[in-house]
Amino acid sequence: MSALSKVYSVAIVGVDGTVVEIEGCIGGGLPAVHLVGLPDTVLQESRDRVRAAITNVGQKFPDTRVTLALSPATLPKVGSVYDLPLAVAILRAAERVPDDRLVGTVLLGELALDGRLRPVRGVLPAVLAARHAGFARVVVPLGNLDEAGLVDGIEVLGAVHLAEVVDWLTGDGVLAICGPHEESGDIATVPDLADVAGQSEAKYALEVAAAGAHHLMLTGPPGIGKTMLASRLPGLLPPLGRRESLEVTAIHSIAGRLPMDRPLIRLAPFVAPHPTSSVSALVGGGSGVARPGAVSMAHRGVLLLDECPEMSPKSLEALRTPLEEGQIRLARRDGVVTYPSRFQLVLAATPCPCAPARDSDCSCSPTVRRRYLGRLSGPLLDRVDIRVRMEPPGSAALHGAEDGLAAESEGSAVVRSRVEAARAAARERWAADGWLTNAEVPGAALRRRYRLSREALRPLELFLRDGRITARGADRTLRVSWSLADLRGLTVPTESEVCEALSFRDRGWA
């Protein structure tokens, strides 16, 4: 009779994990290792890694036919995360280790040829899936221990070597446990808003955008400070909450970009892809199962598209769905995955291709200027809530004074305190519906349950009647007006806030 074993691991599809049952069978036949259950190329190569690792820890590899089945059989299995459970499945089938501690345990990890355990991607969502499935403990490589320890309600153990796992299973050793997690001080690493000379209007627009998580467009000549302002937006945002931190950390873990010294991301991400980036680089892609792109890496943070008119129209148009829905669905050979992508978009552009320091020195014809910014389609721009045309700062601003007032520019900490107060007011107002920011509130809710007074809506109705704004633009104007009210400590926007929100949509266009 064949010897059988059963071990558990987790497959990651998108940001969701599925528990995988690994069955090992040692039976009669010529020496060989067969993997079944839709393994990819990396997983197929694990046969050689597992054989070498088992041999190099002093265990005898079975000299007969070994079959390893991963189920659900119809779910594609990707990556090297299954090396450790495959090795344990073989050792258990060969009766080298007992199964007492395997009950209720999930194993994750890549094996080196000498038996060392190497860190793998996607440990956080894998541990979350194991806890959701009711498992009591999970064993991960020591390099992933802090990341796995972010999940409460499940025992997390770390190992450096396959030999340690074997000793733990036989009761002859112990594994490392996760210590208390220390929060990192990410806020201090962000550039300060006080570094930007002048540009009071653009700074105010940045504050409003931060208060409501609104999309922003900055236009102006080169070197005026568009990129500087955009890079300081994360420093104006409040630290991520626990739920948002886990969402962002899970995405970065899947992408393999999670810093080893900072397992929990608490600062809003800042992603600035190059203007030559492809559609796949922006929204995600790859063969088999799609990997997260820039829009997902910027989830709950800021996505800066500098020199956006230089980008491919296809890349820009691909942003429309995630901007509207807060998620991106990618279909590839092995199925459809959904990644969260609720980010703040910041577009930065010069008004024309020649981009002189002074607009009067422009050598472009009116047709060329319209065609240049015309690469940004109307539907895309309609999703941008705030637009600002930036002008060169005066000499007084460069000397530390602006508009005749000898006062230093406000730093990020001062502005962030106002943003946090505004966001707290919005979070309390929308708490019953689960929305965190004004930008997430559906237009239907703003028009019905939270409808403004007739006097406040009068300017918006005039714009709609004249065709100067679309229905989508009207909804976004209402969201900005709520953010303005939150910054001013008002319980409801008035006609003044609605007018100012409308003016933000008229600025910045050449």
Residue 103 has pLDDT above 70, yes or no: yes
305 three-class SS = strand
* Cα 334 off chain centre by: 22
Q: Are 438 and 212 in contact (CB under 8 A)?
A: yes
pLDDT for the residue numbered 259: 81
- Residue found by looking up tokens 């279909």 in the block: 331
Averaged pLDDT of the chain: 90
What pLDDT shows up at residue 407? 41
Whole-number Å distance between alpha carbons of 407 and 316: 40
Tell me, letter by letter, the H, E, C secondary structure of 362-397.
CCCCHHHHHHHHCCCCHHHHCCCCEEEECCCCCHHH
Task: Provide the pLDDT for residue 510.
Answer: 45
Q: Pairing between strand 335-340 and 65-71?
A: unpaired
pTM across the whole model: 0.89
Average pLDDT value for residue range 343-369: 86
**More reliable by pLDDT, 24 or 286:** 24
- Please report, rounded to a whole number, the percentage of residues in the chain having pLDDT higher than 70: 94
- pLDDT at 394 exceeding the cut of 50: yes
Banded pLDDT at 185 (limits 50, 70, 90):
very low
Angle between helices 200-212 and 412-429 (to 10 degrees): 30
pLDDT at residue 395 in the model: 56
pLDDT for 398 equals: 57
Q: How confident is the model at residue 396 (pLDDT cuts 50, 70, 90)?
A: low
Mean pLDDT of 290-304: 95
SS3 331: strand
The DSSP string of 168-209 is HHHTS---EE---------GGGSPPGGGS-S-HHHHHHHHHH
Residue with tokens 């020199």: 307
Per-residue pLDDT, 205: 96
What does the pLDDT average to over 341-359?
88
Report pLDDT for 404. 43
- Per-residue pLDDT, averaged over 394-421, amounts to 70
All structural domains of the chain: 3-177 (3.30.230.10), 187-506 (3.40.50.300)
β-bridge mates for residue 116, sequence order: 161
Q: Is 276 helix (H, G, I), strand (E, B) or coil?
A: coil
Confidence of residue 186 (pLDDT cuts 50, 70, 90): very low
pLDDT of res. 326: 92
198 band by pLDDT with thresholds 50, 70 and 90: confident
Taking the C-alpha atoms of residue 116 and residue 102, their distance in angstroms, rounded to an integer, is 20
Q: What's the confidence (pLDDT) of residue 19?
A: 96
Distances (CA, A) of 313 to 220, 278, 320, 372: 21, 10, 12, 12
User: Which pLDDT band holds residue 182 (cuts at 50, 70, 90)?
Assistant: low
Percent of the chain surpassing pLDDT 90: 71
The pLDDT of residue 374: 81
Cα 232 from chain centroid (whole Å) = 18
Each residue of 28-73: pLDDT tens digit? 888 899 999 989 889 999 999 999 999 999 999 999 999 999 999 9
pLDDT attached to residue 373: 79
